[in-house]
Amino acid sequence: MSDNRLYLQERLHQIASLVEEEGRVSVTELAERFGVSAVTIRSDLATLEGQGYLVRTHGGAMAKPAAGIVPAFSLRQTVNAAAKGRIGRAAAALVHDGDAIILDDSTTAWQVARHLKDHRELTVVTNSLYIALELVDTPGVTVVMTGGTLRPVSASLVGDQGDCLLEGYHVQKGFFGVRGLTLEAGLTDPDQYGAEMKRRMVERSREVIVIADASKWNRLSFAAFAKLDQVDQIITDEGAPSDMVRALRDRGIQVTLV
């Protein structure tokens, strides 16, 4: 398979993920983002429409109504992957042997899990099947699943069953990805059931650590799950807006750029 073909597949994956996250994209913005012609982007959108990932519109594309793209998690893994990898490594460095931590169902939390495999006597509470599978062969890590109803779009468990189980847990640190982070609304997620699970996880965490690349800053998603006064630390990349970083530090929140 040629390098051009590989790049095409990567671009298609990233476009599909952007549509799933943003709801709508334009040909002009995509052409500028990927450094290709509008003709190429229109061809990409036609391919993705044929595969059932989106619906083309005048000048762009939008998510299919009630589409529920099953491979959305694997697609999101490709978006800002380098930044998420650095954030995951920095977050994992905060975890010590003997800790009990929470990892939510975000792709950045999965990056944290990838860097925990040398730990001993570590307990990881998660609702993510991807994270559980990532750690399944790690002898020093005990994985506790929250239980609940399977949410296929993120391969995670949500619902009242998981809430009941979390009530009995207290963990040192909780690591949370977001789809939106604003000074006014705090931390937000596009799914109300996922947000409710994150809300319960935040309540059980002595220290709340946000793991969010710069693309999530100054964005507002549907459902809020934590206020900024519940956040202890944010790990992000150097693309985070400097005015927001200053404002958060002024509130006493530690912000680490990686």
Q: What is the CATH number of the domain that holds 138?
A: 3.40.50.1360
Which residue among 12, 31, 66 closes a domain? 66
Q: Are 155 and 131 in contact (CB under 8 A)?
A: no
Distance CA 190, CA 74 (A): 17
Number of domains into which the chain is organized: 2
Specify the pLDDT at position 72. 64
The CATH number covering residue 45 comes to 1.10.10.10
In a domain, 71, yes or no: no
- Burial 176-196, CB ≥16 within 10 A → b, else e: bbbbbbbeebbbbbebebbbb
Spans of the chain, pLDDT less than 50: 1-3, 6, 66-71
Q: Looking at the structure, tell me whether residues 148 and 191 fall in a common domain.
A: yes
Q: Looking at the structure, tell me whether residues 58 and 125 fall in a common domain.
A: no
Residue 204: count other Cβ atoms within 10 Å of its Cβ: 16
Q: Looking at the structure, tell me whether residues 56 and 154 fall in a common domain.
A: no
Q: Looking at the structure, tell me whether residues 177 and 120 fall in a common domain.
A: yes
Q: Per DSSP, what are the bridge partners of residue 184?
A: none
Which residue among 44, 66, 88 closes a domain? 66
Specify the pLDDT at position 139. 94
In a domain, 74, yes or no: no
Specify the pLDDT at position 163. 65
Q: Which domain holds residue 178?
A: 80-257
Identify the DSSP state of 217.
B
Q: Looking at the structure, tell me whether residues 53 and 139 fall in a common domain.
A: no
In a domain, 250, yes or no: yes
Q: Looking at the structure, tell me whether residues 159 and 62 fall in a common domain.
A: no
Q: Looking at the structure, tell me whether residues 33 and 128 fall in a common domain.
A: no
Report how far apart the first and last C-alpha atoms of the chain are (Å, whole number).
34
Q: Which residues contact 129 (CB under 8 A, 6 or more apart)?
A: 150, 155, 156, 157
| 5 class by beta-carbon count within 10 Å (0-12 exposed, 13-18 middle, 19+ buried) | exposed
The pTM assigned to this predicted structure is 0.75
Q: Are 202 and 226 in contact (CB under 8 A)?
A: yes
Q: Per DSSP, what are the bridge partners of residue 224?
A: 188
Q: Looking at the structure, tell me whether residues 137 and 221 fall in a common domain.
A: yes
- What is the maximum alpha-carbon separation in the chain? 56
Q: Give the angle 218-221-224 at the CA atoms, nearest 5°.
A: 100
Q: Looking at the structure, tell me whether residues 53 and 105 fall in a common domain.
A: no
In a domain, 138, yes or no: yes
Q: Give the angle 74-174-117 at the CA atoms, nearest 5°.
A: 60
Q: Looking at the structure, tell me whether residues 42 and 105 fall in a common domain.
A: no
Q: Give the angle 100-101-105 at the CA atoms, nearest 5°.
A: 145
Q: Looking at the structure, tell me whether residues 250 and 126 fall in a common domain.
A: yes
Q: Looking at the structure, tell me whether residues 132 and 53 fall in a common domain.
A: no
In a domain, 58, yes or no: yes
Specify the pLDDT at position 245. 98
